[in-house]
Amino acid sequence: MPITNTDAVLWYNVGVFGEAGYAVPNWSNDVGSLNPQVLDWVELVGRNLFHIMHHEDADLRIPPSINTCKRVHKLYLRAANVLAGRAVPSGVDNMEVTHARPAGEVFRVYPVPYFKVRNPFLRRWAGLILVSLSEAMQHTENRKEMEISTAFAGTVGQYVKRVYTNMAIELFGKTREAAIADGFALTDADLAAYNPSAFFTATEMVDTVPRLDRVFTEDRLEVLAEGIPVTELPADISPWPTNLTNFYSGIRSDGVMPGTTNAGGASTAAPIIPPAP
């Protein structure tokens, strides 16, 4: 079982999927949960992200199609309903078990194209959703047996809301004030009027044909689509191989980053990424 020493989104470096830049959320050393609500969130959002990121839009630099926008729209509404319906405020008693307890489960992840995704919107949105999943998998409330709090909902839900806000402003021309308002949602009329050419430059509306040898069939994706328990992932799973330490040591006058030197003064360790709150 892999044990990570970073909180960065992880590179699913397995065969052709590694070459294609697939990624999974980072569970750190928290491989499972006692909380069925957290497990539901990781499953729901992970599966939806998997299908969104395997759409043809991910391979194109032009604005996403209305198909993808509708999927993001529905995911946001569904995710918001789940959190609103299940999160318990601080002043409300939590439901507690008397005898039986939920059986703990290992998290399942759904590897998605990420690091080499050509579409800037989908890559940015996927990054936010992967962080939301990582936050959920590492959250303290995995020890709680029945409930999630509004604090948990705010922590994991903020990333999905940011995706939706970004889509509403940049692709549908909504003002920031409207898009961040509580209860905001795109209407059927908004979706029907989708016209990215009204906001994008002519350069952004055209693209070259991407490589076609990484378009995987449904059968090839079958194992990934079923979800992979984190305990069955490769032992050497790691972040995307961008070594900032070596880069900085070669160009910065201060040379070595604090706390990352060996006996000869050379930099040896990767930068330390702050843990999730």
Q: How confident is the model at residue 274 (pLDDT cuts 50, 70, 90)?
A: very low
13, burial (CB in 10 Å: exposed 0-12, middle 13-18, buried 19+): middle
pLDDT digit string (tens) for 198-214? 888 888 888 888 888 88
pLDDT digit string (tens) for 65-74? 999 999 999 9
Q: CA-to-CA distance for 146 and 36, rounded, in angstroms?
A: 7
Q: Residues near 206 by Cβ (< 8 Å), separated by ≥ 6?
A: 62
Q: Which of 48-62, 93-107, 160-174 has the lowest mean pLDDT?
A: 93-107
Residue 261 has pLDDT above 60, yes or no: no
Q: CA-to-CA distance for 123 and 113, rounded, in angstroms?
A: 8
Nearest to 152 by CA among 217, 88, 78, 85: 88
Residue 162 has pLDDT above 80, yes or no: yes
- pLDDT given at position 272: 45
Q: Which residue has the higher pLDDT, 197 or 179?
A: 179
Counting residues of the chain whose pLDDT is more than 70, the rounded percentage is 86
CA 48 vs CA 15, 32, 134, 188, 210: distances in Å: 23, 20, 15, 21, 24
- pLDDT given at position 179: 95
- pLDDT given at position 117: 95
- At CA 187, angle to CA 186 and CA 188, rounded to 5? 130
Q: How confident is the model at residue 155 (pLDDT cuts 50, 70, 90)?
A: very high
- pLDDT given at position 202: 83
Report residue 231 as tokens. Answer: 């305990």
pTM comes to: 0.85
Average pLDDT over residues 235-258: 68
Average pLDDT over residues 69-80: 96
Q: For 112, list phi and psi in degrees, rounded to 5.
A: -130, 150
- pLDDT given at position 37: 96
For the chain, what is the mean pLDDT?
88
pLDDT digit string (tens) for 124-149? 999 999 999 999 999 999 999 999 99
Q: How confident is the model at residue 38 (pLDDT cuts 50, 70, 90)?
A: very high
- pLDDT given at position 204: 84
Residue 105 has pLDDT above 70, yes or no: yes
